[in-house]
Chains A and B, each alone.
Chain A
Amino acid sequence: MSQFALAASKSPSSLPRERNDWINSTLLYLYGAAVLSAIFIPMAMLLIKSIQNSRGIYVGLANYQKYFQSTALFDSFYNSVLVSLLTAVIVVPTAFLYAYGLSRTCMRFKGIFRAGIFLPLLIPGLLKAIALIYLFGNQGIFKGVLFGGSIYGPIGIIAASILWTFPHAVLIITVSLMNADRRLYQAAEVMQASTWRAFVTVTWPACRYGLITSFFAVFVMVFTDFGIAKVIGGNFNLLATDIYKEVVGQQNFEMGAVISVILLIPAMILFIFERAAASKQASQITGRSLPLIPAVHPTRDWAYFLFCSLILLSILLIIGMAQFAALIKFWPYNLELTLSNYIFDLQGVGWVNFWNSIQMSLLAATAGTILVFLGATLIEKTRFDQFLRKFLQLSMLLPMAIPGLVLGLAYLLFVNNPNNPLGFLYGTMTILVISSIIHLYTVPHLTALTALKSLSKEIEMVAQSLNTPIWRTFFRVTVPACASAILDIWLYIFLRAMTTLSAVIFLYTADTKLAAIAVIHVDETGYTAAAAAMGMLVVYACLVVRLLHYVISAILLKKFQSWRH
């Protein structure tokens, strides 16, 4: 029966539409029009720009030709691939061990390790780079460790990238490790399989797609990031920094667009691989498995404890160093503590940037959460408009494949276009909010979908036969039942909006400059201590919001615990 029931929910070809359906469809079209144009129109502008000259005249592939003739491309491309690959190769196995320790051992203080892994998510990428410079730079504490090698360049980029991507990889792998059926291990044990054989036949098949997914995810993150390389990269050129240099340094938008397209293509391809692996992973989760309860195994547990402590200590060391950098008078000559770095008596930089960030992130998180959740509900619950829903579903994955810097440039070209009636958005907070929401869209969208799918589809049918208006079901049942997912979405957008700058670096003006951007500028002028202080402000804000989220979630959980098992 099930295949028919499924088909039934998919193709109610000519069902009579009732009021609820009309409301749903109208909203779906409005939402679709808004989101699709926010993604596709700027990207189209970017593509067009790459085949125009500076006066906007069509020049075919001349820009590309020019770019391919220079050796810079191959250097940058090679460099980008190299650092991304090395980072992924280091991060994935390490993250696997960390995730394994969290989910499959009985090591002590798991709660701390689980919470600690989120710390790097609260830190702007640049701040990590600054901390690394203080640790290993020309005047760094551990300079000797590099045996004369320089932190400025690939080593620094890779180190900071590892720190940045590590928590993401751990999260992905942990999910795949949780997908374990106790009975499979019991069966292996009964059949007297060795630990190794159990690992190869049970653990590995269950989590290999998680490993592949995390590998691609890490690779793409590093491949498309530019903030880290900007601060610690020295003269080591990457595709992403090239775009920044062309656009900000030379005002050469055409070339920026060309490199963007060149960056976009591999990012897209890798993204498709990543999604394929992720969906294979998802198809393995049956929901009927018994959770695994790890057995006590002192040697192993202590080994993992040591390993995870080492990782967590490195993370804490970096944060500690960043905090220290923000508090000392003059590195490394005068190590007296002072708060004067937080005064920011610099041209064009100050607390206002921090408040801008807060304002922007609050707006992006709130508007983004509403948009994402409403949109996902419409896509999931509308009974008609098959095609549009499918198309939206696919399009919502796209933002993840578009590097933030590329999207940012596309938005710049979009609002700067003299023919654009939305041109007034240039230089406003609104455009920063929009580009941030679109840039971060995919993950929250998938979170919302997962939460919505966990509600029985038949709930809607029952509500319908009880003659309930759609908004009542939405506010009385759907929203409360998805409350924790909604909070998670809000937090995700807020944290990412606070700490990332790639989507906004081309779009700010003096009035809307954000803290993360200010960090770059201050760093460029050489006041590293003030840059660290500005970065730490972001960390404080993120920590406070993270704790608030924790408290609110706990209260909600307590309230709803009665109906959740």
Chain B
Amino acid sequence: MSNKSSFLEVKTLRKSYGRTTVLNDVSFEIEEGEFVCFLGPSGCGKTTLLLCLAGLEQPDSGDIQKRERSLARIPPSGRDVGIVFQSYALFPNLSVKKNIAFGLENQKKSKVEVETICAQLMTLLSLNEHEEKFPSQLSGGQQQRVALARALAVSPSLLLLDEPLSALDAQVRARLRGELRDLQSRLGITTIMVTHDQEEAQSLADRIILMNQGRIEQIGTPWEIYNEPATSFVADFIGVSNIFRVRSLGAGEFRSDSLEFRCPNHDKPHNEEVKLLVRPEDIVTSRTKTIHSFAEALVCKIEFLGPLVRLHTEASNKTKIVADLPKKAFEIGAVNLGTKLWLSAEPHDIKLLRV
């Protein structure tokens, strides 16, 4: 754990099926003990990437190195990875215990050792009372834990999870998310999880690798990905966002019809077209124009989301802008459908996106 040199290194990986490019020049490094999420929409190549790491799929070019050793010619069985699929793929005719012991029996371990490891894992994942049950007798969450235990039994150096939580209902998912993270940090096992759920990735991962159409859009901590999105795709995919296509007037001023932004921190040459991002929660509303106001807009819809109130507004040039007000800042009756408000954002909350 002390050695922080890269544990896994992926270099310019490419993969296509016929004309469809699934992985396009994918490179990244992962450190030992890290929890990394591959995040992206359906078809972005994240599962293919995971299968490549497991050796269940062969990239067309590029290399994968683990501890500076190339894995290219090493079959799945030699890669020392544990894998958990979305469907769990438990052996239906074997009991929980036998499922967990399945991989151990190949390692020529003594019966006592197998028993000990199984017992430890079952305790760790609270499966003790279920050891003689069959997969079909377990709930989704329990099945998921069995699949996890089975993968961990052979103590792999890398754990690969392919959307392990997405088949579960919301409450179980939230609980297991916590358990999973807890388990990972206790065991210190390097873990990669594929998911399309941004909330899941944000709550679990040390770092997120965000993918789109076979390319990596951004690599960063959940904080960086949310607050400093590199591209408008990332900004759009993570959270709710207002993205404005504007033209630079120089000296940190940007404009598009009735919208006016002043952010001296982004100095762009005159007349350059850029995209600006303002998160809904960074918008402040007021009755009168302030120094940071960028638009005047009409309230078209008010949504109560518990801790906050979401205003859907429309500027005079028909641009739709979403603004979130904390519950406390919202006065019932003061803002109604059709109310005109000034929207403002502080310069450091206005992000410049790569076009």
Shortest C-beta distance, A274 to chain B (Å), equals: 32
A461 within 8 A of B: yes
In contact, B106 and A472 (Cβ under 8 angstroms): yes
The digit string for A200-224, where 1 denotes a CB below 8 A from any CB of B, is: 0000000000000000000000000
Chain A residues lying within 8 Å of B73, measured Cβ to Cβ, are: 16
A467–B72 alpha-carbon span in the complex (Å): 17
Query: Residue among B22, B58, B60 with the most chain A CB within 10 A?
Result: B58
Query: How far does the alpha carbon of A464 sit from the alpha carbon of B57 in the complex, in Å?
Result: 12
Q: Which chain B residues numbered 32 to 86 have a C-beta less than 8 Å away from chain A?
A: 42-43, 45-48, 51, 54-58, 60, 72-79, 81-83, 85
Q: Report Cα–Cα, A462/B56, bound state, in Å.
A: 10
Q: Mark B146-163, 1 if CB is under 8 A from A, else 0.
A: 000011001000000000
- Which partner residue on chain A sits nearest B89 by CB separation? A458
Interface string of B73-116 (1 = CB under 8 A from A): 11111110111010101011110000000110111000000000
Contact B17 A466 (CB under 8 A): no
Tell me the smallest distance from the CB of B43 to a CB of chain A, in Å. 6
With A8-B48, A16-B74, A465-B83 as contacts: A477 and B93 at CB distance below 8 Å: yes
In the complex, B5 has a CB within 8 A of chain A: no
Q: Tell me which residues across on chain A come within 8 A of B123, comparing CB atoms.
A: none
Whether the Cβ atoms of A13 and B58 lie closer than 8 Å is yes
Given contacts A8-B48, A481-B92, A563-B93, contact A467 B134 (CB under 8 A): no
Q: Are A8 and B134 in contact (CB under 8 A)?
A: no
Known interface pairs A1-B47, A13-B58; A464-B150 also in contact (CB < 8 Å): no
Min CB–CB distance A163 → chain B (angstroms): 40
Expressed in whole angstroms, the minimum distance between the Cβ of B33 and any Cβ of chain A is 21
* Bound-state Cα–Cα, A70 to B102, Å: 69
B227 at the A/B interface (Cβ < 8 Å)?
A: no
Contact indicator per residue, chain A 505-532, by CB within 8 Å of chain B (1) or not (0) = 0000000000000000000000000000
Beta-carbon contact of A465 and B81 below 8 Å = yes
- Nearest chain A CB to B71 CB, angstrom units: 10
Q: Which residues of A contact B137 (CB under 8 A)?
A: 562-563
Nearest CB on B from A383, distance (A) = 9
**Residues B58 and A16 in contact, CB atoms below 8 Å apart:** yes
Contact pattern, A 456-482, Cβ under 8 Å of B = 1, otherwise 0: 101101111111110010001100110
Q: Which of B17, B85, B93, B151 contacts A7 (CB 8 A)?
A: B17
- Report B-chain residues with C-beta under 8 Å of the C-beta of A12: 56-58
Distance in Å: Cβ of B85 to nearest Cβ of chain A: 4
Whether A465 and B91, one on each chain, are in contact in the complex, defined by CB atoms closer than 8 angstroms, is: no
Q: Kindly list chain A residues whose C-beta atoms are within 8 Å of the C-beta of B89.
A: 456, 458-459, 461-462
Give the residues in chain B near A467, CB-CB below 8 Å.
77-78, 103, 106-107, 154
Do A563 and B106 touch (CB < 8 A)? Answer: no
Complex Cα spacing A468 to B78, Å: 11
A20 contact set on B, CB distance < 8 A: 77
Residues 1 to 38 of chain A near chain B (Cβ within 8 Å): 1-5, 7-8, 11-18, 20-21
CB of A565 closer than 8 Å to a CB of B? yes
Q: Given A13-B58, A563-B134, decide whether A8 and B51 contact each other with a Cβ distance below 8 A.
A: yes
* Residue interface mask A398-420, B partner, CB < 8 A = 1: 00000000000000000000000
Q: Which residues of A contact B83 (CB under 8 A)?
A: 461-462, 465
Q: Which residue on chain B has the smallest CB distance to residue A17?
A: B75
- A560–B93 touching, CB < 8 Å: yes
Chain A residues near B58 (CB-CB < 8 A):
12-16
Partner of A480, one of B93, B107, B135, B151: B93
* A21 CB → nearest B CB, Å: 8
Query: Is B136 at the interface (CB under 8 A from chain A)?
Result: yes
Q: Flag if B154 contacts A466 (CB, 8 Å).
A: yes
Min Cβ gap B220→A in Å is 23
Task: For the complex formed, measure the closest distance between the CB of A33 and the CB atoms of chain B, giving whole angstroms.
Answer: 26
* Residues 543-560 (chain A) with a chain B CB within 8 angstroms: 560
Q: Are B106 and A564 in contact (CB under 8 A)?
A: no
* B103 close to A16 (CB less than 8 A): no
Evaluate whether A468 and B87 lie within 8 angstroms (CB atoms) in the complex, with A8-B51, A562-B134 already known: no
Minimum Cβ distance to chain B for residue A15 (Å): 4
Can you list 25 residue pairs at the A/B interface with Cβ under 8 Å? A1-B43, A4-B17, A4-B43, A7-B20, A8-B56, A13-B58, A13-B60, A15-B56, A16-B55, A18-B75, A18-B76, A458-B85, A459-B89, A461-B83, A461-B89, A462-B151, A463-B102, A464-B56, A465-B76, A465-B77, A466-B77, A476-B94, A477-B91, A477-B94, A565-B136
A464-B77, A465-B83, A476-B102 given; name 6 further pairs at CB < 8 Å: A458-B85, A464-B56, A465-B56, A468-B77, A563-B136, A564-B92
Enumerate chain A interface residues (CB-CB to B < 8 A).
1-5, 7-8, 11-18, 20-21, 455-456, 458-459, 461-469, 472, 476-477, 480-481, 560, 562-565
3 tightest A-B contacts by CB?
A: A563-B134, A466-B103, A18-B75
